Amino acid sequence: MPQTYVALDLETTGLDTENDSIIEVGAVRFSLDGKIDEFSTLVNPGKSLAPIVQRLTGITDRDLATAPPIEAVASDIEQFLSGSILVGHNACGFDAPMLDAHRIQRPFAIYDTQQIAEVLLPAAGHYGLADLTSSLSIVLDGHHRALADAEASRQLFLALIEKAMELPSETLSQIGQWLTPTALPWRGFFREAWELRGSRPSNGRPPRARASESSPPVRSSRATDPVPVPVEQSLEILRSASARTDVFEAFEERSQQVQMLSA
């Protein structure tokens, strides 16, 4: 059975995960083969919305007057999330803590598209959902409405998976190994990308052989008889980077780099 994910977004009365309330939930269950199901509901927070929240989301007190309270939809949310990996933009920093504050059970594994993008796209500069979707030509309709942002997060996740699979297999393997012992909720992302890369033909060529589908990333081995590299040769490689904008687009030559490498 293929792995399933649920892209989730919450609209709330504010940014305080302990004291603010959920006013809208949007979620999309999907696999790498496509969308499976959607879930969306308004939630009555039991208090009036601040004008800034109404302007940002377009949701009004009148819209929420007949909406159910969070207690009435909590089990539906839990059921929709069950058995899947949670996907969301800044989900580790906001959506997951908001669910926790409302005592809504959710998966431990969270593929936070903001944090993953910070690793995969170090030159992006801005990592908001609107910025990243725009830079990757993903259409974001209805920003700051839960279901629209959940769908954008789904598409962003798929784009990041493709970006990860462009990395060399050895690099993905090493990253997966480094992250495995950590407590990061998205530690499985790069391992999954490594497995997908190994099972997918690249540029028409058959995939590289692997020990088994379930075998863990393998630690890179070190030569038993390492060969010293002359300092000047290393410095020459470093200096050559300034002419390789195709490899290091934003390379900046700094004297501290030379001093460190020489040492």
Residues acting as catalytic residues: 144
User: CA 175, CA 197: separation in Å to the nearest integer?
Assistant: 14
Q: Is 258 exposed, middle or buried (0-12, 13-18, 19+ CB in 10 A)?
A: middle
Q: Do residues 43 and 24 touch, judged by C-beta distance below 8 A?
A: yes
Q: Do residues 8 and 40 touch, judged by C-beta distance below 8 A?
A: no
User: CA 263, CA 254: separation in Å to the nearest integer?
Assistant: 15
Look at residues 53, 41, 125, 36 and name the one whose alpha carbon lies nearest to residue 87: 36
Give the total residue count for the chain: 263
